[in-house]
Amino acid sequence: MFRVTNQPIDLNELVQYVTDPEAGAIVPFIGTTRNNNEGRKVIALDYEAYPEMAEKELVRIGDDAQKKWPICKIAIVHRLGPVQIGEASVIIVVSAAHRDAAFAASRFAIEEIKKTVPIWKKEVFEGGEVWIGTQTGQPLSALK
């Protein structure tokens, strides 16, 4: 299961999807939105994607994880649009016969998401907003 969605992500749905009689471990990873970043007080985050390509890249990450480790199933869902502080922006759930493979595949998936999946995060903080990674944020005061 690989998708991007404007709806809150349902962890239980992903856990059910990866549940497998051959699995001895299920590892969930939940990325959540933090109220601070580099000294800024963050008010909200807004995610945008190139959705068709983002889902293709998530499938590719799942395929690579399956090749690298003996896992049973993997599910990755990334949230889009405004996400309130403390909510899940991404959830990865991996099942495997043994925990080492599940932990490794989960770690691999989140690191790959941050490198290759066309999803962008705009941080709205006290006094401005910035597209993370581009370092071209303007304080709101500079735009007036």
Partner 1 sequence: MKVKVKFFAILRERAGAAEVLKEISDGCTIGDLWRQLQKDYPKLDVPGIRLLYAVNQNYVGPDYVLREQDEVVFIPPVSGG
Q: Which stretch binds partner 1 (CB under 8 A): 13-21, 67-75, 97-105, 108-116?
A: 108-116
Least Å distance, CB 41 to partner 1, is 19
Smallest distance, Å, CB 70 to partner 1?
25
Candidate residues 64, 121, 124, 128; the one interacting with partner 1 per rule CB under 8 A: 121
| Under 8 Å between Cβ of 83 and 7 | no
Q: Tell whether residue 47 is a contact of partner 1 (CB under 8 A).
A: yes
Instruction: Give the closest residue to 96 by CA, choosing from 15, 22, 28.
Output: 22
Q: For residues 55 and 36, what is the distance between their CA atoms, to the nearest angstrom? A: 28
Angle at 35 between CA 110 and CA 46, to 5 degrees: 65
Contact 80, 92 (CB under 8 A): no
Exposure of 124 by Cβ count < 10 A (0-12 exposed, 13-18 middle, 19+ buried)?
middle
What distance in Å separates the CA atoms of residue 50 and residue 56, rounded to the nearest whole number? 10
- Least separation in angstroms between residue 123's CB and partner 1 is 9
Shorter beta-carbon distance to partner 1: residue 20 or 129: 129
Tokens representing 65? 């994880």
Q: How far is the CB of 119 from partner 1 (least distance, A)?
A: 3
Among 63, 132, 139, 140, binds partner 1 (CB under 8 A): 132
Is residue 42 close enough to count as binding partner 1 by CB under 8 A?
no
**In the complex, which residues of this chain contact partner 1 (CB under 8 A)?**
31, 47-50, 52-54, 56, 78, 89-90, 110, 113-122, 131-136
